[in-house]
Amino acid sequence: MGIFSEKLDMEKLHEGILDVLSDGIYVTDAKGKTLAVNQMYEKLTGLKREEILGKLVTDLRNQGNFDVVLNPEIVSTGQKKSSVQVTKEGRRVILNGCPVFDESGKVVLVVTFVRDITLLSQLQDQISSQQEVIDKYREVQNRDKMKRQNGAVIFESQEMVQLMSVLDKVAKTDATVLLLGETGVGKDVFSRLLHERSLRHDEPFFKVDCSAIPESLIESELFGYEAGAFSGANTKGKPGLFEMADKGTLFLDEIGELPLLMQSKLLRALQDQELIRVGSTKVRKFDVRFIAATNKDLDEEVKNGRFRSDLFYRLRVAVLQIPPLRERQGDILPLTCLFFEKYNAKYRKEVDFTKEFCNAFQNYKWPGNVREMDNFIQSLIVTRDKEILDVSDLPHYMLCDDININRSSMSVENRSLEELMSDYEKNLLKNALEVNGSVAKVAKLFKVDRTTIFRKAKKYSLL
Residues 173 and 286 in one domain: yes
Using the predicted structure, report yes or no on whether residue 122 has a pLDDT greater than 90. Answer: no
Q: Which domain holds residue 449?
A: 395-463
Name the strand (E) or helix (H) holding 6.
Answer: helix 2-19
Calculate mean pLDDT across residues 4-20. 67
For residues 296 and 164, membership in a common domain is answered with: yes
E strand or H helix that includes residue 98: strand 92-101
Task: Report how far residue 304's alpha carbon sits from residue 260's, in angstroms, rounded to the nearest whole number.
Answer: 12
- Please give the tally of structural domains in the chain: 4
Q: Are residues 297 and 192 in the same domain?
A: yes
Number of H helices, E strands in the chain: 19, 16
Q: How many CB atoms lie within 10 A of CB 455?
A: 10
Decide which of 272, 296, 323 is a domain's last residue: 323
Same domain assignment for residues 315 and 437 = no
306 and 343 share one domain: no
| Max mean pLDDT range (140-149, 219-228, 367-376, 388-397) | 367-376
Listed residues 323, 349, 376: the one ending a domain:
323
**Residue 224 included in any domain:** yes
Q: Please enumerate in sequence order all residues whose Cβ is within 8 A of that of 257, keeping only pairs 6 or more positions apart, or say none.
A: 210, 211, 294
Query: How far is residue 324's CA from residue 372's CA, in Å, rounded to a whole number?
Result: 12
The verdict on residue 93 lying in a domain is yes
- Residues 264-311 have pLDDT tens digits of 999 999 999 998 888 888 899 999 999 999 999 999 999 999 999 999
Is 125 domain-assigned? no
Q: At what angle do helices 450-459 and 439-446 cross, to 10 degrees?
A: 110
Q: What is the pLDDT of residues 22-80, one digit of tens each?
A: 889 999 999 999 999 998 888 888 888 888 899 999 999 998 888 889 999 999 899 99
Single-letter code of the amino acid located at 463:
L
Mark whether 174 and 307 lie in a shared domain: yes
Inside any domain, residue 127: no
Evaluate whether residue 261 is within a structural domain. Answer: yes
Both 306 and 373 in a single domain?
Answer: no
One-letter amino acid of 206:
F
CATH number at residue 29: 3.30.450.20
What digits encode the pLDDT tens for the residues 151-168?
A: 445 678 999 999 999 999
Q: How far apart are CA 182 and CA 88, in angstroms?
A: 67
For residues 67 and 197, state if they share a domain.
no
- Identify the pLDDT of residue 128: 57
Alpha carbon distances (Å) from 335 to 156, 163, 266, 397:
10, 17, 36, 20
Alpha helices in 20-143 (DSSP H): 39-45, 49-52, 57-62, 71-77, 117-137
Q: Is residue 124 part of a domain?
A: no
Same domain, 307 and 339: no
Share of the chain above pLDDT 70, in %: 84
In angstroms, rounded to a whole number, what is the distance separating the alpha carbons of residues 324 and 329? 10
Statement to judge: residues 6 and 84 lie in one domain:
yes
Residue 229's CATH number? 3.40.50.300
CA distance 320 to 190: 9
Indicate if the alpha-carbon torsion angle 384, 387, 393, 398 is positive or negative: positive
Task: Check: pTM over 0.85? Answer yes or no.
Answer: no
pLDDT at 326: 92
Burial tier of 232 (Cβ tally within 10 Å: 0-12, 13-18, 19+) = exposed
* One domain, residues 210 and 222: yes
Q: Residue 130: pLDDT above 70?
A: no
Predicted pLDDT at 98: 93
Question: How far apart (Å, rounded) are the C-alpha atoms in residues 21 and 116?
Answer: 14
Instruction: Please give the single-letter amino acid code of residue 320.
Output: L
Provide the pLDDT for residue 139.
43
Asked if 208 contacts 253 with a C-beta cutoff of 8 angstroms, the reply is yes
- Report if residue 38 sits inside a domain: yes
Q: Has residue 417 got a pLDDT over 80?
A: no
Please report, as a single letter, which amino acid is at residue 76: S
- Are 112 and 98 within 8 A, CB to CB? yes
| Cα separations in angstroms, 419 against 77, 400, 430, 457 | 87, 18, 16, 16
Q: How far is 88 from 65, CA to CA, in rounded Å? A: 5
Q: How confident is the model at residue 150 (pLDDT cuts 50, 70, 90)?
A: very low
How many C-beta atoms lie closer than 10 Å to residue 49's C-beta? Answer: 14
3 state DSSP class of 29: strand
Domain boundary residue, one of 372, 390, 408: 390
List all residues 6 or more positions away from 40 whose beta carbon is below 8 Å from its beta carbon. 19, 21, 22, 23, 24, 25, 114
Nearest to 369 by CA among 151, 190, 141: 190
Q: Is residue 137 part of a domain?
A: no
Kindly state whether residues 361 and 416 are assigned to the same domain: no
347, containing H or E segment: helix 332-347
Give every CB contact of residue 398 below 8 A, 6+ residues apart in sequence.
360, 361, 364
